[in-house]
Amino acid sequence: MPTAAIVGSAGYTGQETLDRLLGHPALELVALGSDSHAGSGAQALDPRLNGALPAFVPNAEAAASGADVLFLCLGHDEAAAFEPPAAGVVVDLSGAHRLRDPAVAERWYGTAPGAWSYGLPEVSPPEGRLIANPGCYATAALLALWPLRDALRGPVVVDGKSGMTGAGRGLKASTHAGFVLENVSPYAVSGHRHAPEVEQALGREICFVPHLLPVRRGLLATCYADCGGADARALLESAYAASEVVRVLPEGVVPEIARVHGTDAAEVGVFSNGDTTVAVCAIDNLGKGAAGQAVQNANLALGLPETAGLRLQGVLV
């Protein structure tokens, strides 16, 4: 059975990746890396974990474990400085290796370590062993827009809204309960680092503004575009007809965060508003927007069933 290790297990994406691996039928977890929890049992992260899991080790030790796949759940700067092992698949959940143009990467991340294969399976399946997991907003926007790319005319506007876990586990004034609760606020209005990911894939500029929602998790991207009269529904339904992850909803049904909460699925809806096509995508920012997609990419790179270990079933209220 292929083996897996997590580097940076203590953050939200690390914990969510661990959650997927706990239920994965074809991956064996051999190392949990965390510099802050090194030497402690897995229950130091969450009391629901028990002694059946490996104890935490320093991130460097987890990276050198020889696992067949490493999930790199570090900040952008740490991921940019990470030296991949000589063998094995590495999936980077940060933004460090997503952008191909060094000048663009330098502008948005302050470093340009080089692009890895951009792994959005429904748009650009991963190639090779070094995989850059897409950003959460970029994932939702591209799932809505990619099938329409050849029909797009004029400006494209993306309105994004995400739960507070998208900001990570670290403390910030903008994610304190007193700021978030009973409030919705835009941020990075003049430019967000996920926009160049979408532009890189589509080959065109977009106007993207994200907003912070007073919810823990979930993300909604509403995309406005002129498709020049093309049948946007037919394009989307054709693109995702065989997908087990992306559901194109029936006409008149809107995507909802509640239905994808805690899952690795995506919902896409498409509507007409005058001459404007409105394509909407809902995902869980920690699921299809992060850990679930990372496991999906690892499955493809290792030749495993694409949806092994993913949360795709159920009708929780």
Active-site residues, by number, are 136
Alpha carbon 55 to its chain centroid, in Å, reads: 27
CA distances from 42 to 51, 110, 137, 209, 211 (A): 7, 34, 30, 38, 34
Provide the pairing of β-strand 130-132 with 207-212: unpaired
Q: Which residue matches tokens 């004034």? A: 173
DSSP conformation class of 121? T
230: exposed, middle or buried (C-beta count within 10 Å: 0-12, 13-18, 19+)? middle
Alpha carbon 162 to its chain centroid, in Å, reads: 12
Instruction: Record the tokens describing residue 214, joined without a space.
Output: 């007073």
Which uninterrupted H or E stretch holds 144?
A: helix 136-145
Indicate the residue type of 17: T
- Spatial neighbors of 189 by CB under 8 A, at least 6 apart, are 209
> Buried b vs exposed e over 245-256: b needs ≥16 C-beta within 10 Å?
bbbbbeeeeebe
How crowded is residue 222: how many other Cβ atoms within 10 Å of its Cβ? 21
Euclidean distance between CA atoms 156 and 221, whole angstroms: 12
Q: Is 189 helix (H, G, I), strand (E, B) or coil?
A: coil
DSSP conformation class of 184? -
Euclidean distance between CA atoms 217 and 39, whole angstroms: 30
Residue 232 sits at φ, ψ, to 5 deg, of -65, -40
